[in-house]
Structure 1
Amino acid sequence: MTNTFIKVALDCPVEIGVAPTSSKDNKPAHLIQYELLSQDPYVYTLEDLIYEVHIRHKQIPDSEVQVRGEEIRAALFQKKHPCLRASMLPKKHGWGVHHNQEGKIALYAMESEAYQQFIETGDSENGPKLFYAMRSSRG
């Protein structure tokens, strides 16, 4: 996905971007996504993000990743993975997701000026393609 902006879901329950939290020892995928994308905007492509979230979520040791990284990645991508339209970040936490021309990803809080600018320039000749995140409920 390139030059695309995912707007928060129409049924998003928050009015500002909220950092996800968890009391579980094993962090949920959307929390890992948030940490990676907020700390390093425009570093990860979707495939790189899926891989990084996978190894962190499964708590695969760095030593194993160094030895078997390509094998782990190949096995992971034997099946399809949802795009970020299905992530809890734009669905429930108020974060827009931008994929730049290179497919690298960054998050924008729904109340930010940058978020509004993506919406205003979206679907224009030079602006990003706009999509809503998937709704949490049918309706």
Structure 2
Amino acid sequence: MKQHTTNFINTFIEVAEDCPVSEAQIPPEKKEKTLANLQYEQIVKNPYKYSSDDVIFDCYAFKNDISKSEKHETREKFFSKGQPCLRCSPLAKKYGFGIHHNDKGKVAIYPLESKEYQEFLHDHSIMKVKAMRSKKK
């Protein structure tokens, strides 16, 4: 079974052109955790520990109440089809966070207004891609 991936290497996902904030905002807590809450918590607490695939699948597993014993098989099935990458993440589209994938494909997030965010923009050794726009032009 062919496995697809959402992982990037040495890449920085810039906030979307139509991102509504000029300073990063922590996704607000709601009664049930949103995708933005789950991604934010996992990445902020563990910078450069998880790949994009790990984050995307862990959020899917949490939202769909997948047990530990089912995870391996479910993950294989999940990535047998292409999945939206972190360019579609609400963190980069709505909440003002850039997402850096290091040389091992592990991710960390940086607020739009941070010095690190600006450094990534000017670093010619890494690829830059924009997060997906929320609205069509």
Give your verdict on TM over 0.5. Answer: yes
| Percent identity for Structure 1 against Structure 2 | 40
Structure 2 equivalent of residue 70 of structure 1: 72
Aligned to 1:55, what secondary structure does the other structure show? helix
Q: What is the identity, as a one-letter code, of the residue corresponding to 1:20?
A: P
Structure 2 equivalent of residue 54 of structure 1: 60
Distance in 2 (alpha carbons) for counterparts of 1:19 and 1:131: 22
Q: How many corresponding residue pairs?
A: 130
Aligned to 2:104, what secondary structure does the other structure show? coil
**Match for 2:11 among 4, 14, 21?**
4
CA contact (8 A) 2:13 2:129 kept: yes
- Higher Cα Rg, which structure: 1
CA contact (8 A) 1:32 1:57 kept: no
**Match for 2:45 among 33, 39, 44?**
39
Stretches of structure 2 that go unaligned for 5 or more consecutive residues are 1-7
Structure 2 equivalent of residue 83 of structure 1: 85
Q: What is the identity, as a one-letter code, of the residue corresponding to 1:138?
A: K
Cα RMSD, aligned residues only = 1.2
Stretches of structure 1 that go unaligned for 5 or more consecutive residues are none
Q: What is the identity, as a one-letter code, of the residue corresponding to 1:131?
A: V
Distance in 2 (alpha carbons) for counterparts of 1:20 and 1:120: 27
What TM-score results when the alignment is normalised by the length of structure 1?
Answer: 0.88
Structure 1 equivalent of residue 109 of structure 2: 107
Shift of 1:98: 0.2
